[in-house]
Amino acid sequence: MQFIAAISLVGLLAPALAEADTLIRAAVLRVDVAGLPPISRLDLAPADLGLAGARLGTEDNATTGSFMGQIFETADFVATPDTAAAALEEALAGGAGFVVILADDATTLALTDLAGDRALILNAGARGDGLRGADCRGNVVHVAPSHAMLADALAQFLAWKKWDSWFLVAGSHPADVDLAQAFRTAATKFGAEIVEERVYEDTGGARRTDTGHVQVQKQMPVFTQGAEDHDILIAADEAGIFAEYLPFQTWDARPVAGSAGLVPRTWHPALEAWGATQFQNRFEAMAGRPMREEDYQAWLAIRIVGEAATRTQSGDPANLREHILSPEFEVAGFKGQKLTIRDWDHQLRQPILLTTGALTVTVSPQDAFLHQVSQLDTLGRDRPETECSFP
């Protein structure tokens, strides 16, 4: 566990305020699951994944706090699924009123229930629709996008392109199944047709070997051979088993989207619009690497706490929580518009970037998709469709 240097920074900026300062404590808990390395070594997870984003958020909050008489402290925890509960207890015992969690769906739900009313959980990792639906909880705010939001963001763009015949290839892991369902729902919602579906079974075996590309070049065309005529192949591969192998290796000359090719994301290190350049610069100067989605989401989660503290001019977690969950709450996140929280499932509304390896291709919601309340509600589960009723 390590505390970040934000406290000393505040001390430098506003020594006069030291006596009366209010302390706002948060924690960030990342739960790592042992597994295969990613397909591309460019995607290897840095040791401070997510934590670095939270650190920048804490520094940003501390700078603002220096003018408000507020000090922000964020404790870092990295755990395994087995040690996650103990880490959460330690964070809560340390006084954290807000816990940013980067974990899979099941772990996030278990930790949310364990925290109960002792802390507000900010989910910065898990994207399952169940967490926003049947398994929703009142003590969590989902900063990470839902699978439904990501799928809808892609579907809107494909509808605009009139690429409405999809070949869906889904992995066999539970998160893949959830994402694939989100693509099916999105297809119905935006008038696309899934003309063929296949499941890519994860059977283990060699992946990145010195002759890997030779195998891939033979396997992927065969796997995608003979599909119904389609405009685009959509891959649902949250587990990261096969999707990256698909572009340029499909049987038909068709583009790939979803988990590879054109990928919906909350953040991309090449984003320059909406003042993002200076934000990327600040992160890279601090972390020494480009910002990933997990970092952006953790940064945003910590900024949500800071924004509530600034607006309420309070350090009381109950006050901050009330403000965060109120209709008045809004936060800026370098997305060109204010970000707010849906009251029906506590999902943060945000634009979704559709990206390639090097660039942001477009941003959804697409202009043509209108909504009577917020255009951002064209992404993900809207109020009438929600399956969430807070226990």
Partner 1 sequence: MRLAALSLVLLAHPALANKVYITNEKGNDITVLESETLEVIATFPAGNRPRGITISPDGKELYVCASDDDTVRVFETETYTETHTLPSGPDPELFVLHPSGNPLYIANEDDNLVTIVDVQSHRMLAEVPVGVEPEGMAISPDGAFVVNTSETTNMAHFIDTATSQIVANVLVDQRPRYAQFTSDGKLLFVTAEIGGTVAVIDVATKEVVHKIGFEIPGVLPEAIQPVGLKITQDGSRIFVALGPANRVAVIDGTTFEVLDYLLVGQRVWQLAFTPDESLLFTTNGNSNDVSVIDVAAGEVIRSVPVGQQPWGIVVGPD
The 10 Å CB-count burial string (b at 16+, else e) for 4-31 is bebeebbeeebeebeeebbebbbbbbbb
Question: How many Å apart are CA 207 and CA 61, to the nearest integer?
Answer: 43
Please say which residue, 268 or 335, places its beta carbon nearer to partner 1.
335
- Residue 375 sits in the site that holds partner 1 (CB under 8 A): yes
Cβ neighbours of 336 (radius 10 Å): 12
- Residue 290 sits in the site that holds partner 1 (CB under 8 A): no
Amino acid at 113: D
Residue 67: CB minimum distance to partner 1, A: 4
Please say which residue, 274 or 344, places its beta carbon nearer to partner 1.
274
Tokens of 302: 């910590």
Give me the residue label for tokens 């290190």.
269
Phi, psi torsion values for 54, nearest 5 degrees: -65, -35
- Residue 357 sits in the site that holds partner 1 (CB under 8 A): no
Residue 46: CB minimum distance to partner 1, A: 22
Please say which residue, 80 or 281, places its beta carbon nearer to partner 1.
281
- Residue 337 sits in the site that holds partner 1 (CB under 8 A): yes
Tell me if 258 sits within 8 A of 54, measured CB to CB: no
- Residue 27 sits in the site that holds partner 1 (CB under 8 A): no
Please say which residue, 288 or 336, places its beta carbon nearer to partner 1.
336
Give me the residue label for tokens 């989401």.
297
Residue 250: CB minimum distance to partner 1, A: 36
Please say which residue, 67 or 390, places its beta carbon nearer to partner 1.
67
Q: Find the binding residues for partner 1 in span 54-73 (CB under 8 A).
A: 60, 63-64, 66-68
In 3D, which of 370, 362, 378, 360 has the Cα closest to residue 158?
362
- Residue 336 sits in the site that holds partner 1 (CB under 8 A): yes
In 3D, which of 319, 312, 115, 60 has the Cα closest to residue 74?
60
Among 43, 228, 330, 343, binds partner 1 (CB under 8 A): 330
Please say which residue, 59 or 238, places its beta carbon nearer to partner 1.
59
Quick one: which segment of 38-46, 171-179, 336-344, 377-385 binds partner 1 (CB under 8 A)?
Answer: 336-344
Tokens of 101: 């969690």
Quick one: which segment of 184-192, 213-221, 331-339, 355-363 binds partner 1 (CB under 8 A)?
Answer: 331-339
CA–CA distances in Å: residue 94 to residues 17, 79, 179, 191, 326: 24, 16, 36, 50, 27
Count of residues touching partner 1 (by CB under 8 A):
25
CA–CA distances in Å: residue 250 to residues 123, 169, 260, 356: 35, 11, 13, 17
Q: Is 367 helix (H, G, I), strand (E, B) or coil?
A: coil
Please say which residue, 63 or 215, places its beta carbon nearer to partner 1.
63
- Residue 212 sits in the site that holds partner 1 (CB under 8 A): no
- Residue 348 sits in the site that holds partner 1 (CB under 8 A): no
Rg of the Cα atoms in the chain: 21
- Residue 219 sits in the site that holds partner 1 (CB under 8 A): no
Residue 375: CB minimum distance to partner 1, A: 6
Tell me if 391 sits within 8 A of 364, measured CB to CB: no
Tell me if 348 sits within 8 A of 341, measured CB to CB: yes
Please say which residue, 292 or 303, places its beta carbon nearer to partner 1.
303
Among 172, 282, 286, 344, binds partner 1 (CB under 8 A): 282
Binding letters toward partner 1, positions 294-323, x by CB under 8 A:
---------x------xx------------
Please say which residue, 173 or 338, places its beta carbon nearer to partner 1.
338
Tokens of 201: 């079974």
Among 278, 288, 318, 390, binds partner 1 (CB under 8 A): 278
- Residue 352 sits in the site that holds partner 1 (CB under 8 A): no
Tell me if 242 sits within 8 A of 210, measured CB to CB: no
Tell me if 280 sits within 8 A of 269, measured CB to CB: yes
Give the interface with partner 1 as residue ranges (CB under 8 A).
Answer: 13, 60, 63-64, 66-68, 275, 278-279, 281-282, 285, 303, 310-311, 330-332, 336-338, 374-376
